[in-house]
Amino acid sequence: MMNPKTKKVILLTLISLLIAAAVASYFYNKGPVDVSDEKGIAVEAAVLYQEYINDTAIAGSKYGGKIVEVSGEIQEVRKTSEQERVVLLKSGVEGAYINCSMQAGNEVLPESGKVVIKGICDGILLDDDLGIPGDVIVKRSVIKN
């Protein structure tokens, strides 16, 4: 026969495991955030880029993994080898862009001009060894209406 203290420990452990399993199941089944329905942090493309260049850690804590609404001028619209559409916004630095991977859809993308693109900021990709300026990555993007 178990003593009452051991029974309580086992019971609390089982309850904790059940709660952890319920929370994990909720987040697993929740699915990704619909970027188009969420409010984002409004920022100009050149400002976003400059903040990442000035201090990657601070910019990462401010924007990383969060929804941003980046306003700027389109440099180019292209497709990747996987046929994913990408909009490059001018950053104010030659050869560096705000690289916005667009969500799959039939949305018509402008080829030039000013736009506001909303997506999840994924940080900056730098390559100091090659001396190439990096791009700030914004994924799952949509054109803001």
pLDDT per residue over 68-120, tens digit each?
999 999 999 998 888 889 999 999 999 899 999 998 776 778 888 999 999 99
Q: Per-residue pLDDT for 31 more than 70?
A: no
Residues 62 and 37: their CA atoms lie apart, in Å, by: 20
Please tell me whether residues 81 and 130 are part of one structural domain.
yes
What pLDDT score does 58 carry? Answer: 95
What pLDDT score does 133 carry? Answer: 82
Q: Per-residue pLDDT for 1 more than 70?
A: no
Q: Per-residue pLDDT for 145 more than 70?
A: no
Residues 131 and 106: their CA atoms lie apart, in Å, by: 37
Q: Which residues contact 13 (CB under 8 A, 6 or more apart)?
A: none
Token pair listed for 2: 């178990």
What pLDDT score does 19 carry? Answer: 94
Please tell me whether residues 91 and 114 are part of one structural domain.
yes
The domain total for the chain is: 2
Please tell me whether residues 18 and 39 are part of one structural domain.
no
User: Secondary structure of 26-48 in the HEC alphabet?
Assistant: HHHHHCCCCHHHCCCEEEEHHHH
Q: Per-residue pLDDT for 131 more than 80?
A: no
**Range of the structural domain that residue 53 is part of:** 35-143
Token pair listed for 80: 């990747």
